[in-house]
């Protein structure tokens, strides 16, 4: 269940209404409301943090700060009608400025507490604790003792509170950003609180508590808007000028994407799936060169290129036809046939010439030799000479006469050559030889098509490499095949690669189509396609730089989008509507009348002002303080500082009057720098307020102390007095009552009796010097008390020192004075003078001090005199 869901309508208050409203607001605004409720308008550091939180809420991943939205725990509580929270005391203070530890500052729970202290005695330390613990909107920061060698970082204190009915509890408070809910019912008024109501600009405004929260939130929104607007202007200026004069083409896919970038554009989708290759570079160069020429010239060049590709295709097909598996297998079959025939012939020769002494007769080498001899005989002798030569002829080889047996053998050789087996073998060998020569004669080298290859290499480098590889492999297949035919063992023989002739044919067809597009000067589809291809290639080539530009621009657009989303959050319409609703429904008409009552009570007819509702530009409506006599006058220029303080205090008390509870009020130097007229007015009003609720006043103004104490006494309001003093290294040492100079007659007599008992102990210990000094001090203070009694009792405070008026209302009380009263006063005062070293005494005059019993009797004489005289004066009607 949300905080606001648990708020009963009957308990509706300004802070609770704001809390309920806030739950529909952005988180950063709810965080701002928390800061405003706890500490007032955010400072510079807080504003920067709120700006960061706003950015985070709209997607800035760099912000790690976490928002802390306003919750019920941050609101001042309302204990309810008839209920109240009172402060009983502050104890166990630790880590607050130079405040002494081990001190307890007690407060009057159902009346007035006055804590007096001169400047630098620790008042501010105690009030800072209360402002922090009670969630004052101007609490300020608490720092530890800066002079300490090991300062404590977390301030602590025990705050004792009492609820209606006497239920007491102790709140262990730590300065960790939170505080007990009950403490928020206690309010603290100081100069900072006054500034909420009195804005020192051109007018004085009354701002009931709570209404300034929407106003402050609107102010925060305006401040955030100003900062965001400045950032937006800077972001708009950071747009790359290349978007005004693009370096990319509107035809390319990348160019189109660059021209339509958004904050959520996917940069990965803009990247090409394949990198820009050497082939792309070659194609780009070609397109640029071709499109730069006369269309007809460029088209003719492409058609010439296509013709070269046709020649290359034909060449490749011839190679493939000569070296394909079928052709090689046929060549190998021819070889096998020749080999088989020769084997058969060799077998026949072996059978025919097996009786000869020489081996190998009839075989290939022998046949070669025989045919060489035949040829030689034809050259050496006349044409037509018989071969082999007959008997008796001379052998052309050995030049010996041929006998009968040699002639017979030679005729046998010739018969063998002419037989069918040998003839077939020779024919088969001839066929193979021709086939082998034809196979060997196939010219396989890129130089055979060098012009076409160079053109292809410039136009399609990848295909050119395939062609070159195909030719090289075909050459290798040719060499390996011939080696195998010659009887060599060839391991892992290669096969002819897959045909690239079709790819060359496709390239030729595309080239002719490209030529047609170059001829299409009218801008038809074909030419548009070429221009688009050129644009794509150009932008793909510079894609690295273009994508960097795009990445930077997308980041800028994302930041600009986030900025615009944040700016929408700063609209104040809803805040103004909230302020008007609170003013209409929760700030009742009696507030104006109540303010009038308060300002009259504080300033009488000196400050003739009224509260007038005035529409505010942002936030909530304002209640402007205007002069009755001249509503157009600038009140700030007319009212004095004292009058402005009265206005602030009047508005503050007006708010409290509308509360349903009467919890404690704490005032920190409420009359600082004011003259007696305003001091007395403020004292009178606070004394009156102390009659209905607990009032605690910290002040350094002794006259204000006296006025407050006297007025509270006249109203029979329970009053507790205390004062703070300094130690050697600490401040905030708590003392009961007021300092001696400010103590009442009764308090002084009580202190004198205690000092007399202490002096008696010195007397009993025979400490003559110590006792003599103590006695002298006692009589000095006793004399001062007789003097104060002259003002307070004898003259009934009609005339007082340092007061610039005479209080004649008590003059009749002086009529109760009798001669005996005067005599007692004179005797007591004279005796004190005898023992006080007001002047340098004579060397021979060194009286012994009275004994303790006599001192006590002299004190009792003052006590009895004062009580009896008061009794007689009180009886005067």
Work out the pLDDT band at 6, boundaries 50, 70, 90: very low
Return the pLDDT at 560: 94
Work out the pLDDT band at 760, boundaries 50, 70, 90: very high
Locate the DSSP E strands across 364-441: none
- From the list 826, 828, 825, 821, the residue with the least C-alpha distance to 855 is 828
- Residue 598, preceding peptide bond in cis (omega within 30° of 0): no
Query: What six digits make up the tokens of 368?
Result: 């070669």
Q: At what angle do helices 325-352 and 364-380 cross, to 10 degrees?
A: 80
Work out the pLDDT band at 348, boundaries 50, 70, 90: low
Return the pLDDT at 563: 94
Query: What six digits make up the tokens of 538?
Result: 């150009």
- From the list 467, 483, 447, the residue with the least C-alpha distance to 328 is 483
CB 158 within 8 A of CB 90: yes
Work out the pLDDT band at 7, boundaries 50, 70, 90: very low
350-383 per-position pLDDT tens digit: 655 655 656 666 666 676 667 677 777 776 666 5
**201 pLDDT higher than 60:** no
Architecture of domain 83-147+154-186+663-737: 3-Layer(aba) Sandwich (3.40)
Cα angle, residue 258 at apex, residues 254 and 260 outer, rounded to 5°: 120
Lowest mean pLDDT among 36-50, 279-293, 691-705: 279-293
Return the pLDDT at 428: 85
Lowest mean pLDDT among 36-50, 68-82, 522-536, 602-616: 602-616
CA 69 to CA 63: how far, in whole Å?
17
Residue 147 CB neighbour total at 10 angstroms = 9
Return the pLDDT at 179: 61
- From the list 787, 815, 814, the residue with the least C-alpha distance to 801 is 787
| Size (the chain), residues | 877
**4 pLDDT higher than 50:** no
Average per-residue pLDDT in the chain? 81
Return the pLDDT at 541: 93
Lowest mean pLDDT among 44-53, 273-282, 464-473, 582-591: 582-591
Residue 561 CB neighbour total at 10 angstroms = 16
- From the list 319, 315, 325, 332, the residue with the least C-alpha distance to 435 is 332
> What long-range pairs does 427-435 form, CB within 8 A, spacing at least 24?
427/341, 428/334, 428/337, 428/338, 428/340, 428/341, 428/342, 429/338, 429/341, 429/342, 431/334, 431/337, 431/338, 432/334, 432/335, 432/337, 432/338, 435/330, 435/331, 435/334
The pTM of the whole model exceeds 0.85: no
Return the pLDDT at 834: 80
Domain ranges of the chain: 83-147+154-186+663-737, 191-211+587-658, 278-324+442-534, 330-440, 743-874
856-874 per-position pLDDT tens digit: 999 899 899 989 988 888 8
Q: How are the residues of the chain apportioned to helix, strand and coil, as percentages rounded to the nearest 5?
A: 60, 10, 35
Work out the pLDDT band at 242, boundaries 50, 70, 90: very high
Place of tokens 């000196």: 606
**570 pLDDT higher than 90:** yes
Work out the pLDDT band at 10, boundaries 50, 70, 90: very low
Full DSSP string of 486-503: TT---SS---PPPP-HHH
Return the pLDDT at 39: 77
CB 189 within 8 A of CB 697: no
CA 292 to CA 510: how far, in whole Å?
20
Cα angle, residue 284 at apex, residues 281 and 289 outer, rounded to 5°: 125
CA 607 to CA 204: how far, in whole Å?
13
> What long-range pairs does 803-812 form, CB within 8 A, spacing at least 24?
803/676, 803/703, 804/676, 805/676, 812/876
544-555 per-position pLDDT tens digit: 999 999 999 999
Return the pLDDT at 408: 72
Lowest mean pLDDT among 309-313, 570-574, 679-683: 679-683
Radius of gyration, CA atoms only, the chain: 61
Considering only residues 491 and 644, tell me which one the structure prediction assigns the higher pLDDT. Answer: 491
Name the percent of the chain lying above pLDDT 70: 80
CB 472 within 8 A of CB 325: no
Q: What phi, psi does 680 have (nearest 5°)?
A: -65, -40
Return the pLDDT at 504: 92
510-521 per-position pLDDT tens digit: 888 888 887 765
**316 pLDDT higher than 80:** yes
Report strand pairing: 609-614 vs 622-627: antiparallel
């Amino acid at each position: 269940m949300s905080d606001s869901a648990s708020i009963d309508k009957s308990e509706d208050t300004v802070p609770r209404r704001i809390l309920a409203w806030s739950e529909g607001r952005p988180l950063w605004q709810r965080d701002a409301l928390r800061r405003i409720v706890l500490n007032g308008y955010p400072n510079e550091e807080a504003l920067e943090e709120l700006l960061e939180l706003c950015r985070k809420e709209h997607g800035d991943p760099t912000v790690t700060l976490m928002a802390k939205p306003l919750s019920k725990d941050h609101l001042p509580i309302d204990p309810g009608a008839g209920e109240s929270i009172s402060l009983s005391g502050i104890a166990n203070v630790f880590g607050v400025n130079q405040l002494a530890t081990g001190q307890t500052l007690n407060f009057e729970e159902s009346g007035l507490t006055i804590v007096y202290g001169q400047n630098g005695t620790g008042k501010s330390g105690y009030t800072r604790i209360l402002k922090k613990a009670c969630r004052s909107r101007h609490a300020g920061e608490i720092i530890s003792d800066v002079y300490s060698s090991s300062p404590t970082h977390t301030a602590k204190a025990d705050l004792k509170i009492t609820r209606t009915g006497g239920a007491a509890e102790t709140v262990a408070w730590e300065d960790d950003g939170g505080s007990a809910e009950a403490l928020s019912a206690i309010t603290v008024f100081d100069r900072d609180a006054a500034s909420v109501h009195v804005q020192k600009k051109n007018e004085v405004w009354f701002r009931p508590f709570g209404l300034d929260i929407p106003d402050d939130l609107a102010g925060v929104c305006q401040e955030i808007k100003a900062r965001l607007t400045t950032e937006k202007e800077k972001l708009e200026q950071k747009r790359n000028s290349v978007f005004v004069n693009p370096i990319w083409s509107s035809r390319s896919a990348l160019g189109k994407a660059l021209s339509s970038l958004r904050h959520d554009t996917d940069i990965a989708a803009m990247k090409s799936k394949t990198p820009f290759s050497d082939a792309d570079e070659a194609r780009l160069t070609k397109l640029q060169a071709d499109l730069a020429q006369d269309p007809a010239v460029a088209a003719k060049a492409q058609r010439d290129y296509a013709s070269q590709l046709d020649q290359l295709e034909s060449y490749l097909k011839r190679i493939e036809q000569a070296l394909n598996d079928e052709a090689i297998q046929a060549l190998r079959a021819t070889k096998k046939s020749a080999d088989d025939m020769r084997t058969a012939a060799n077998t026949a020769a072996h059978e025919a010439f097996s009786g000869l002494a020489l081996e190998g007769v009839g075989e290939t080498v022998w046949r070669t030799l025989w045919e060489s001899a035949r040829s030689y005989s034809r050259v050496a002798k006349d044409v037509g000479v018989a071969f082999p030569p007959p008997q008796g002829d001379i052998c052309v080889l050995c030049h010996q006469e041929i006998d009968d047996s040699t002639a017979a053998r030679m005729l046998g050789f010739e018969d063998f050559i002419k037989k069918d087996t040998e003839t077939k073998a020779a024919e088969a060998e001839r066929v193979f030889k021709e086939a082998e020569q034809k196979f060997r004669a196939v010219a396989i080298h890129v130089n055979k098509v060098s012009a076409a290859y160079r053109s292809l290499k410039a136009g399609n480098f990848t295909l050119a490499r395939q062609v070159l590889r195909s030719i090289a492999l075909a050459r290798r297949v040719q060499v390996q095949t011939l080696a195998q035919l010659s009887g060599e063992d060839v391991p892992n023989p290669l096969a002819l690669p897959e045909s690239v002739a079709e790819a060359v044919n496709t390239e030729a067809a595309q080239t002719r189509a490209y030529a047609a597009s170059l001829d299409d000067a009218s801008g038809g589809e074909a030419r548009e396609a070429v221009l688009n291809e050129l644009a794509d290639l150009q932008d793909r080539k510079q894609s690295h730089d273009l994508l960097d530009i795009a990445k930077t621009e997308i980041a800028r657009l994302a930041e600009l989008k986030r900025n615009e989303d944040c700016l929408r959050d700063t609209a104040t319409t809803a805040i103004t509507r909230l302020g008007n609703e609170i003013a209409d429904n929760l700030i009742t008409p009696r507030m104006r009348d109540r303010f009038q009552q308060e300002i009259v009570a504080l300033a009488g007819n000196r400050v003739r002002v009224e509260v007038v509702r005035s529409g505010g530009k942002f936030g909530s409506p304002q209640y402007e303080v205007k002069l009755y006599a001249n509503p157009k006058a600038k009140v700030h220029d007319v009212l004095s500082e004292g009058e402005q303080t009265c206005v602030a205090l009047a508005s503050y008390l007006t708010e409290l009057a509308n509360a349903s509870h009467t919890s404690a009020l704490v005032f920190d130097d409420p009359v600082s720098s004011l003259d007696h007229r305003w001091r007395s007015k403020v004292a009178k009003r606070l004394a009156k307020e102390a009659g209905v609720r607990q009032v605690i006043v910290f002040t350094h103004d002794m006259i204000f102390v006296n006025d407050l104490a006297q007025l509270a006494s006249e109203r029979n309001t329970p009053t507790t007095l205390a004062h703070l003093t300094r130690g050697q290294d600490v401040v905030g040492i708590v003392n009961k009552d007021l300092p001696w100079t400010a103590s009442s007659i009764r308090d002084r007599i009580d202190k004198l009796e205690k000092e007399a008992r202490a002096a008696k102990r010195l007397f009993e210990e025979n400490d003559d010097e110590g006792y003599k000094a103590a006695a002298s001090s006692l009589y000095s203070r006793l004399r001062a008390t007789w003097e104060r009694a002259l003002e307070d009792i004898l003259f009934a405070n009609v005339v007082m020192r340092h007061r610039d008026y005479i209080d004649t209302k008590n003059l009749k009380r002086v009529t109760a004075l009798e001669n005996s009263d005067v005599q007692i006063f004179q005797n007591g005062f004279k005796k004190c003078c005898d023992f006080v070293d007001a002047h340098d005494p004579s060397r021979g005059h060194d009286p012994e001090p009275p004994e303790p019993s006599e001192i006590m009797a002299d004190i009792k004489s003052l006590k009895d005199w004062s009580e009896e005289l008061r009794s007689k004066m009180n009886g005067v009607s």
